[in-house]
């Protein structure tokens, strides 16, 4: 198997904290590879290192078969990088932004015209070529930013939380674009705080305090879910059920938290007692309890809180 990214024992200190602690991971080629994790887990640090903008303190990394540290100049031709909260040049138009990125990557002549046309169609920005980037809506800005990072046809695309602040429709469109890039054989590494987006990845790592807490296909992570999961719905006369994080879970349960408009309660698979009675004892207005399949968000909760891990607020 060819690896687009091959990282061994990567460590990096940032702002006095250990941002990455001996990370080892391989990303196959091609792949839509997701990075999830709490805030401060090291996602952006890893992205910035892979983008050749920071050097790791320790460890080795090969990207597209080349040494990340030694061959960074040549790698820069083959990598596309979209930093967190990337905002382009607000005072330049859509077309001027695209032109600029084409020019600095040496895409010229008829090839440039062709790529620009393709990308504008791809990003659904063809009607807005003369509009200033600052006048675009949040979703369109992100699509333009993606188009700009694609203009030199990179083999590896690094996207750091590209859909933050983007509405659900634009977010869905954005991921359709990522999927089609993946289908063309590009490797994408995407970090995201959205678990529904993570579920669309081929493979995922969950970072926690600079180390990998879990890795696998979304289906594998879900299959490895250690609990039995119930959904608790509210009485018709109560808008939503809540359960404070500070309160201990109901007897026999390991976890309970609001999710998708209901409460999700997880108990060890060995637990034999009737869940409904135990839940009703500590959750007022609980009307219905159904056994459900966990989603990635449930895995995230299980991995980050279940194992006694602390997380950010």
> Residue 90 or 219: which CB sits closer to another protein?
90
| Exposure string for 75-106, b = 16+ CB within 10 A, e = fewer | bbeebbbbbeebebeeeebbeebbbebbeebe
Q: Smallest gap, in angstroms, from Cβ of residue 167 to another protein?
A: 4
Q: Is 312 in the site for another protein (CB under 8 A)?
A: yes
Q: Is 170 in the site for another protein (CB under 8 A)?
A: yes
> How many chain residues interact with another protein (CB under 8 A)?
82
Stretch that binds another protein, among 166-174, 180-188, 224-232, 277-285 (CB under 8 A): 166-174
3-state secondary structure of 60: strand
Reading the block at residue 120, the tokens are: 């504008």
User: Could you give the CA distance from residue 60 to residue 55 in angstroms, rounded to a whole number?
Assistant: 10
Of the candidates 11, 211, 282, 305, which one interacts with another protein according to CB under 8 A?
305
User: Could you give the CA distance from residue 7 to residue 147 in angstroms, rounded to a whole number?
Assistant: 27
Q: Smallest gap, in angstroms, from Cβ of residue 189 to another protein?
A: 14
Q: Smallest gap, in angstroms, from Cβ of residue 87 to another protein?
A: 6
Question: Interface residues for another protein in 186-205 (CB under 8 A)?
Answer: 193-196
Question: Interface residues for another protein in 56-85 (CB under 8 A)?
Answer: 72-73, 76-77, 79, 81, 83-85
| Measured CA distances, 312 to 39, 161, 205, 269, 305 (Å) | 7, 18, 18, 28, 11
User: Could you give the CA distance from residue 249 to residue 81 in angstroms, rounded to a whole number?
Assistant: 42
Q: Smallest gap, in angstroms, from Cβ of residue 165 to another protein?
A: 5
Of the candidates 1, 16, 270, 291, which one interacts with another protein according to CB under 8 A?
16
Q: Is 179 in the site for another protein (CB under 8 A)?
A: no
Q: Is 308 in the site for another protein (CB under 8 A)?
A: no
| Measured CA distances, 205 to 44, 91, 198, 219 (Å) | 13, 37, 10, 13
Question: Interface residues for another protein in 96-155 (CB under 8 A)?
Answer: 96, 99-101, 103-106, 108, 124, 127-128, 131, 135-140, 152
Q: Is 167 in the site for another protein (CB under 8 A)?
A: yes
Question: Interface residues for another protein in 242-281 (CB under 8 A)?
Answer: 242, 244-246, 257-261
User: Could you give the CA distance from residue 101 to residue 94 in angstroms, rounded to a whole number?
Assistant: 11
280-299 footprint of another protein as x/- string (CB under 8 A): -----------------x--
Alpha helices in 13-108 (DSSP H): 43-50, 72-75, 94-104
| Measured CA distances, 167 to 6, 48, 194 (Å) | 34, 26, 12
């Amino acid at each position: 198997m060819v690896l687009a990214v091959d990282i061994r024992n990567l460590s990096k200190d940032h702002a006095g904290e250990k941002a990455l602690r001996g990370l080892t991971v391989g990303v196959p080629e091609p792949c839509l590879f997701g990075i999830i994790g709490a805030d401060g887990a090291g996602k952006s640090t890893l992205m910035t290192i892979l983008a050749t903008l920071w050097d790791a303190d320790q460890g080795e990394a090969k990207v597209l078969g080349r040494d990340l540290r030694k061959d960074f100049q040549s790698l820069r031709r083959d990598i596309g990088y979209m930093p967190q909260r990337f905002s382009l040049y607000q005072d330049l138009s859509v077309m001027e932004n695209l032109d600029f990125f084409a020019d600095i990557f040496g895409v010229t002549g008829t090839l440039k015209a062709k790529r620009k046309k393709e990308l504008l169609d791809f990003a659904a920005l063809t009607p807005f070529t003369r509009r200033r980037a600052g006048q675009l809506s949040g979703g369109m800005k992100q699509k333009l930013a993606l188009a700009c990072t694609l203009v030199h046809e990179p083999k590896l695309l690094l996207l750091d939380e590209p859909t933050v602040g983007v509405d659900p429709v634009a977010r869905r469109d954005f991921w359709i674009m990522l999927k089609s890039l993946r289908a063309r054989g590009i490797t994408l590494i995407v970090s995201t705080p959205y678990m529904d987006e993570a579920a669309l990845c081929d493979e995922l790592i969950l970072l926690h305090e600079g180390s990998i807490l879990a890795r696998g296909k979304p289906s594998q992570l879900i299959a490895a879910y250690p609990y039995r999961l119930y959904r608790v719905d509210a009485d018709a006369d109560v808008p939503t059920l809540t359960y404070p994080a500070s309160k201990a879970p109901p007897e026999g349960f390991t976890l309970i938290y609001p999710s998708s408009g209901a409460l999700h309660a997880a108990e060890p698979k060995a637990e034999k007692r009737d869940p409904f009675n135990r839940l009703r004892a500590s959750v007022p207005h609980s009307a219905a309890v159904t056994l459900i399949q966990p989603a990635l968000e449930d895995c995230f909760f299980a991995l980050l809180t279940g194992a006694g891990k602390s997380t950010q607020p």
